[in-house]
Structure 1
């Protein structure tokens, strides 16, 4: 639960700074710079995700998004109260936990709030099965949000990035006895299951 842990630490830090009325202009300026860096990284992540790309690593984008929101919470605690757009912007980060708490207290919104909280705060379980140095099969399980893992082809691209092609195989549940064998230079045979339930498919490597 790396997302929940980071956000909890950042929220408590921001709350402590707000209660103690902590004043440190240099710390405030430095935190703003860090926040803006993660804002840019988050925007890049969003653009990459819309085009089926991402930074290398299974949780890299989530860490960037989480630190972007977390530094916003800390900035709210370090900033002076005000009525300007900057204060409202920071309040959106710091007030998010209270919005979730309010949603849990209102019965018509309870289910929706739980779904939103699980989507934003829960970390998916990733597993990668290497095909070769440039390709891997990745499974992504999102807990109660999906009944079966999503299987994607991961292609190593452009030094820091990787291409993600989802839905390579679409089993009805968790794959057991997974086996992969390359067929030539541009295709791989994927097999899973036992006995009569055994299935296979061939995917093309781009």
Structure 2
């Protein structure tokens, strides 16, 4: 709920500033500088995500994108109406929720709009299980969008970045217990106990016991 909370507060602040015709030239200039930095980081985050990378930390990319949008909404609230590309750009950020609202009203775009809205505003639930200083297993659940968690391999890369390889295993269940045992320098043994949906029956529960390459994330 952090994403929707931050964006809702920024949206309400923007509406309040517009109604009261509040003007803070110094604050506007400072916020523009912050917004430009966040814009660059947001563009880099999207480029990294397309290629399977991201900034270190499970929620770092989402926080960057959220603060980018929130700073744009804040700027719209304290900016005076002008006929230029910069103002229309801010107005576009402000109008985006209304576009989603129209999409919800139209029957033929309702499903797609719900998926987009949940992807943008819904926070995912992440858990990371450390293998060593460079690798970890991550589970990610996204509300009603994913019935079961997505299991990914996370590898530290290049100081501030990490590589995420999704769906290294697919037990179709949430983990009840997980044991990771590193084997040599290039593989890890994953012993996963789940409540349902595993491949092996172990004492009334279900489990997965497999070895995965650390570099490619492939089953061995």
Q: TM-score range by the shorter chain?
A: over 0.9
- Using the size of structure 1 for normalisation, the TM-score is 0.93
Is 1:205 the equivalent of 2:217? no
* Partner in structure 1 of residue 4 of structure 2: 4
- CA shift for structure 1 position 198: 2.9
Higher fraction of helix = 1
Moved more, 64-73 or 151-160: 151-160
The secondary structure found in structure 2 opposite 1:115 is: helix
Gapped runs of 5+ residues in structure 1? Answer: none
Q: How many residues align?
A: 206
Preserved CA contact (<8 Å) 2:131 2:182: yes
Structure 2 counterparts to residues 117-136 of structure 1, below 5 A:
117-136=117-136
Q: Secondary structure at the match of 2:177?
A: coil
The aligned residue for residue 161 of structure 1 is 161
In 2: Cα distance, 1:192 partner to 1:152 partner: 14
User: RMSD between aligned alpha carbons?
Assistant: 1.6
Runs of 4+ with >6 A deviation: none
Deviation at 1:16, TM superposition (A): 1.1
- Separation in 2 of the partners of 1:93 and 1:171? 39
Shift of 1:56: 1.0
- Determine which structure has the larger strand proportion and give its number: 2
* Matched-pair contact (CA < 8 Å) for 2:171–2:208: no
Deviation at 1:150, TM superposition (A): 0.9
